[in-house]
Chain A
Amino acid sequence: MGAAITARDLGPVLHRPRRRRFNHLPYALITPASLAMFGILAFPLGMLVWLSLQHYGLRELIAHQGTWVGLDNFRVTIADPLFQQVVVRSLLFTVANVALTIIFSTLIALLMLKVSRPVRTILMGGLIFVWATPVIVAIDIWQWMFDYEFGVINYLLTQLHVGNFIHHNWFDDPLQGFIVITVVTVWGAIPFVTITLFAALLQVPDDVLEAASIDGARPWQIFWNVTAPILKPIFLIVTSLSTIWDFGIFNQVYVLLNQRPSSDYFVMAVYSYRESFGVTQYGLGAAIAVVMVLILIVVTFFYVRQTLQTAEIT
């Protein structure tokens, strides 16, 4: 915060042109992008909010005519104990998955700096391969690997004498089930974050690191006191993006559980989808989605503010 004030104090000192003629060009240039953003994001979001204020079932969907109910959908949703569980579950899932994604990605990115060129190429190829696999295909493969009847994981664990995993059901106990979902989610999230962090690590000046090591800093201290602060803006961006993605998780849960997840496995997006398309209460489903957007705004606000402040300093 101190930095922000300093920047503002410096403002008047800086040279400012007197009065510039209003320049249309920048606005003309951002118009197409703004229109696209409006069409793709703002309009559907507006419709979502509009839908959440109505009673909108199947009959209303087909007739294109809902009944205005004000905030009733929100009242019903928030009072629902299942919804409260779902929110807590989604938040815990997000914290665990974002943390694991960032930790593993950082470690792999640091590893990539140290290894020889051919190994780095292999690592990079593997990451790109994971990234390029269509998400549904990837989840289907994981689902077969963890399959109760035919899964290779159960077979391997049994062969390796970890225990008797023949006919072990990974989704019987929701905790185990969520561990599997976390594995699949983090696995899919690592490539983007790792490659981003690796690119950022290449930008860390060698002389600074050298100076630190000459001053007697241990590798851990160098990372914590030199590298990490330089990478802070990148960490903020990948953390906020991961938060947004993990909080909105849908495919991994829905596909891994054969499109019929029990209520133990409801996260916000799945719950919203179920209310909408499962029990055709589109108004309620929309209300859940709106709450989800609001929670995300609150959570990511912190990161975005940090990012903006970091940007102001540099």
Chain B
Amino acid sequence: MNPRKYLVGAIGMAIAVVVAACGGTSNTPGNESGTLTVWLMTGSAPPSVVEGVNADFKAKHPNVTVKVELQNWGDISTKLDTGFAGSTPPDVVELGNTMVAKYAAAGALEDISGKKSSFDNSGTWLQSLTDSCTLNGKLYCAPYYAGSRAVIYRKDMFAAANVQPPTSMDELLTVGQKLMTAHSSDPNFSALYFPGKYWYAALPFVWDFGGDIATQSGGKWQGSLNSSGSQQGLTTLANLVSKLSKADKTGDEAKQDAAFAGGHIAMIIANGWEIGVITDAKAGNPSLKDKLGVFPIPSHNAGQSAPVFLGGSDLGVAAKSKNQALANEWIELLTGTKHMSDMATVGGVIPNTTTMLSLGTGLNAIFFAAAKNSRFVPNSRNWASVESANVIPDMLVSIFTGKAQLPAATTSASDKITTILNGS
């Protein structure tokens, strides 16, 4: 090496040290500078909430720039894989609650067990969300928000057909059939619009009859979509779909709000925020605003409601992040009481703590209440692979289209789930 190369190397080192120091957290609080990169999912927090969090953060750390980058659900696992693999991953990451275990197990997320008490309401966090953040007794993320589904229906169509919201699965069928009869002249009409791949909405039927996706005993997972309970639930659902739905049996739920706004549908199973999409002035149909009602997905036991899937998101800190303390502070703000109540009232999502479930008003109250009787997918680091392999959607499609008999389809899916969950 000649002297000039040494010089170049030395300058490079110096720059690296300076940059690292700027981004680092060893400085006295309030003096840090640099950039904090935050990955949030599209539609997760209303812009006003994000702005509020950033303003509060700026007040404490005036020299730190917060860069919030919105990601899409469609290709998120590709983005996360490559983001975490790089040497400068995003500092704060929003993760779907079914994806946390995979990334925590791979060492992508920082263990924040020691910081749990620094978060507001950490003692009353929603149990399912806390579970999704926990792997082998350690906490890898903070619960962010939840979503649970109920049935959105057209009050005017119900009134015209002279039916009431059903209180059991049997009633759901009879009510649906009356609606179908009332609209028999409309070939596009669906009493209950149910796209074939909509597995989040299929799970309540499985759980309600005592079935499950998989059960764990002695450290081994066993797929159980072919158990008698699961099969009963899926048979009930398949019957509803064949009699009440004109939705694409191989499609997913991405277009269901647009379809519902189109006016040929009486009921959909949906999240609370979807009311906003349906009645949106541009993408939806605002005239439906006063015509929408909500009831919980009924159980087969009359008068009860079926357990629902608790979807939602968590916020984690990347293990390779150079700004972990700052990242943690940012998460504390967003998940804290002040901004969480905005998430619930402005965003209409279910907040991360049981103490705020009363914030749901009007139609939202029914969605918030549904979260109380909620279930979650198997908490395994391999679960995300079951999702990526489309095991459950493919099973539903083959049942609804009649490509396979229900027992065979459920057994095949169950075997696949067993293999993937127990994989290394």
Contact of A172 with B107 in the complex, beta carbons under 8 Å: no
Contact of A172 with B389 in the complex, beta carbons under 8 Å: no
CA distance A61 to B248 in the complex (A): 38
B residues near A260, Cβ cutoff 8 Å: 197, 252, 390, 393
Interface size on A, residues (CB 8 A): 25
CA distance A80 to B252 in the complex (A): 28
Q: Shortest distance in angstroms between A294's beta carbon and chain B's nearest beta carbon?
A: 25
Contact of B390 with A262 in the complex, beta carbons under 8 Å: yes
Residues of chain A whose beta carbon lies under 8 Å from any beta carbon of chain B: 57-59, 61-64, 148-150, 166-167, 169, 171-172, 258-260, 262-263, 274, 277-280
Shortest Cβ-Cβ A-B pairs, 8 listed? A278-B388, A58-B106, A148-B248, A59-B106, A279-B385, A277-B78, A61-B85, A62-B108
A residues near B247, Cβ cutoff 8 Å: 149
In this complex, the member of A61, A149, A169 whose beta carbon has the largest number of chain B beta carbons within 10 angstroms is A149
Contact of A148 with B251 in the complex, beta carbons under 8 Å: yes
Interface string of B82-122 (1 = CB under 8 A from A): 00110000000000000000110111100000000000000
Contact of B388 with A169 in the complex, beta carbons under 8 Å: no
B residues near A61, Cβ cutoff 8 Å: 81, 84-85, 106
B residues near A277, Cβ cutoff 8 Å: 77-78, 81, 388
CA distance A274 to B81 in the complex (A): 13
Whether B75 is near chain A, meaning CB under 8 Å from some CB there, is yes
CA distance A215 to B331 in the complex (A): 85
Interface SS majority for chain A: loop
- Offer 30 A-B interface pairs, CB within 8 angstroms, sorted by A: A57-B106, A58-B102, A58-B103, A58-B108, A59-B105, A59-B106, A61-B81, A61-B84, A61-B106, A62-B106, A62-B319, A62-B320, A148-B248, A166-B187, A166-B188, A167-B188, A167-B248, A169-B249, A172-B249, A172-B401, A258-B252, A260-B390, A262-B250, A262-B390, A262-B394, A277-B77, A279-B385, A279-B388, A279-B389, A280-B384
CA distance A57 to B255 in the complex (A): 34
B residues near A280, Cβ cutoff 8 Å: 77, 81, 102, 384-385, 388
Q: Name the one of B81, B103, B250 contacting A169, with C-beta atoms under 8 angstroms.
A: B250
A residues near B420, Cβ cutoff 8 Å: 279
Q: Shortest distance in angstroms between A280's beta carbon and chain B's nearest beta carbon?
A: 7
CA distance A63 to B75 in the complex (A): 22
State which residues 278-337 of B face A: CB under 8 Å: 319-320
A residues near B340, Cβ cutoff 8 Å: none
B residues near A63, Cβ cutoff 8 Å: 107
CA distance A210 to B107 in the complex (A): 74
Q: Shortest distance in angstroms between B81's beta carbon and chain A's nearest beta carbon?
A: 6
State which residues 227-271 of B face A: CB under 8 Å: 246-252, 254-255, 259
Whether B362 is near chain A, meaning CB under 8 Å from some CB there, is no
Assuming the A-B contacts A58-B106, A64-B85, A259-B75, are A171 and B250 also in contact, with contact meaning beta carbons closer than 8 angstroms in the complex?
Answer: yes
Q: Shortest distance in angstroms between A144's beta carbon and chain B's nearest beta carbon?
A: 11
Whether B357 is near chain A, meaning CB under 8 Å from some CB there, is no
Q: Name the one of B107, B250, B389, B401 contacting A278, with C-beta atoms under 8 angstroms.
A: B389
A residues near B103, Cβ cutoff 8 Å: 58
Additional A-B contacts beyond A62-B319, A262-B397, A277-B77 (20; CB < 8 A): A59-B105, A59-B107, A62-B106, A148-B248, A149-B248, A149-B255, A150-B255, A167-B246, A169-B249, A169-B250, A169-B251, A258-B252, A260-B197, A260-B390, A262-B390, A263-B394, A274-B388, A274-B389, A278-B77, A279-B420
State which residues 51-102 of B face A: CB under 8 Å: 74-75, 77-78, 81, 84-85, 102
CA distance A122 to B388 in the complex (A): 45
Return the chain A residue nearest B403 by Cβ.
A172
CA distance A258 to B253 in the complex (A): 11
Contact of B188 with A278 in the complex, beta carbons under 8 Å: no
CA distance A169 to B249 in the complex (A): 8
Q: Shortest distance in angstroms between B392's beta carbon and chain A's nearest beta carbon?
A: 12
CA distance A62 to B86 in the complex (A): 8
Q: Shortest distance in angstroms between A151's beta carbon and chain B's nearest beta carbon?
A: 11
A residues near B106, Cβ cutoff 8 Å: 57-59, 61-62
